[in-house]
Every structure is written in structure tokens, then in C-alpha cells.
Structure 1
Amino acid sequence: MSRKYKIRDQERLYFVTFTVVEWIDLFSRQVYRDIFLDSLRFCQTNKGLDLCAYCIMSSHAHLILGRSGDQKLEDIIRDIKKFTSLKIIQTIKELQEESRRNFLIHHFSKAGNSNPNNSMYQVWQQHNHPFELNTEDKINRCLNYIHRNPVEAGIVLSPEEYLYSSAKNYAGHPEKLIDVILIE
């Protein structure tokens, strides 16, 4: 793996992207977005995750994150991906309303079987390409990119209109799904 995509400084903020295998539109259902948000909340409370920005799109999620504790950032990222993978697979199997069950299980199983790091299923692509945010310009560009993602996708007209994004937090709206540490 290229040194460019490693977390080298645990005290810095990083821009990361979690992408569903084959870019499957998994997060078109609220139940899966909620699993992802619950995992972030758990890591904030219990693992020292500093979440500064996020946006959950249909097939991926962008985050700006850091840490405030002893646990390494890459370990927190691993735990988020592991927990959400297990919980999402369980939910797919149990959710009566999931009309895509066979499709999702087939693709997640195929990805898991072709990856020696997994035993059965793989929900997330292996990489997350952490990008160190070591200048104010990099932070601002990534923050803008995250919040404009739903606008560029034609989902909303302004970033604050998108529910599954921290743009509401930054705009000072009281309706927010998860607390973030605002980057000043």
C-alpha cells in the first residue's frame, strides 16, 4: 500500500471515504444509514472518535475525523467498518421489507469470498484512502466537498437541505442527526 494513504500523524484530522463494494446503493434505506450513524455515535462515546463532518450518500460516506484518546484512528475506522458490516448483513437477512435481500447477500458474499481478509461477507471496499488535513486550505476544501456532494448529485439545492450530512450542524440548524465537532 502506498505511504500516501496511511495515517501517519494520530493528532491530525483526516478525510476518509467508506465505499460499499461494487458501489451498491445500500444506503437508499434509512435502516442502514441509521446503523452507520449508531456506529459513529458509539465510537464518539466509547472510542474517542472526533467526528468533524460527514455525508452519507447512497453508496458511500465521506467523513472528516480525528481522535481524542489512546485508540489509534485506524483502529477506530476498522471497528466502524467491522460493526456496520456485521449489523448490516444481519439486518438484510432479518428485514422482511428488504426486497433486495438475495441481490445484496449475493454481492456481499461474492466480495467476501474473493478477499482473504474476510470469512464470508464484505460490505465495504477494503481501502478508505485517509487524506491528512494538515492545512486550513485542505480542511476547507474537504469540508466543502463533503457538504456539496448531495448538491452535485442533484439530490438537494443547498447542502443544509440534506438530512444525512453535517451541513445542518455547520449552518446552526437545531435538527441534526449526530453531534460533530465544528471546525472553526
Structure 2
Amino acid sequence: MKSRAFVPEKLDVAALAHDGASLQGEWPAASLQRLADSAAPEAPAGGWPALRWSLNGELRRPKAAAPQTWLHLTASAHVALTCQRCLKPVQEDIDIDRWIRFVDTEAEAAALDVDSDDDVLALPRHLDARELIEDELLLALPLVPRHEICPEPLPVPDAAEESAAEEEVERPNPFAALAALKRGGSA
């Protein structure tokens, strides 16, 4: 039997699962534009190590049910994001290990996704694995990247900033005048 050649950018997931085949590789981080856009300005994605990924197809045959198409996706990347405390680059290791079940229709995927802990997607004719891997990496990024301990002390506001903040606190409430007028008019 002739083995099939699989291309990640135009992947036939059903055939990959049917054959029990695997794909793996590396891509430059800068080639994933949306992931590269999350980079800290001082550490662009061009300087990041290549990200590694692998895809393994599996056809599961549960008793008294139709065969199920599954894809095991693993990926790892080393990224530099902006620390939200000190605004300096912070290095993050992102590791993904997911099983995705593919079903025939979007409606079936939506129904199963609600009841299942597994990720469920509608089976496309061809899947762009690069886009799927990038989506999973983006979802795995920390919401608020920050250093455990920032490398430089955080800036302390100077006296001028403190006095401006105090003046802000001492300003009268603009609605206090309205409340006074309201009380005075009804008396």
C-alpha cells in the first residue's frame, strides 16, 4: 500500500487518522504572524527559538458506535512578552498537549462540545494545521505576563506626581453642587 504524503497547511485530518499517521516539525516563531505580534518590542519574534510541533491522527472505534476521528496536537514555544509590572520583556515557555475530536457537522460539534471536556471541531475537508497550532499557542499565552520578581525596581512616583494626585483627591464632587441645589429648591 502506498503511503500518503501529508502537508500541514492543507491537512486531510480524516486520512491522517485513518492511517494512524504522524507529522512533526519546526517553524520559525516569526512565521506565525499573530503570535509574533504578541512579542515584546525589545525582543521580537525573529530572535525566538523555533517552535516545535507534532500531530498524531487516531481513529477510535468505540463499541456500538461509529468510528471517531481524533487528532493529538503537541507544540512548544519559547516567547518573550511584555511584563505588565515593569514593562520589560519576560520569557515564557508555552507547552500544549491537546486531543481534538472531529465530527461531521458544526451543529454536532457544538452539541458535543457543551457536554464534553474534550475539544470538538467540525471535520473540514482540509485543515490548516499551522493556523490551528497558532490558535492553540495564542490561547495558552498568559493573560497578564509578568516576572516572578522584576529585574529592575518599579519606578516610584516623584513629589510632583504625588501632589498632583493629592489635588485630584481634594477636588469637590461635581454632583455635590447639584445635590445642594436640589435640597435648596425643594425646601
**TM-score scaled to structure 2, two decimals?**
0.24
Higher strand share: 2
Structure with the bigger RCO (C-alpha within 8 Å, sep 6+) is 1
Higher helix share: 1
Bigger CA radius of gyration = 2
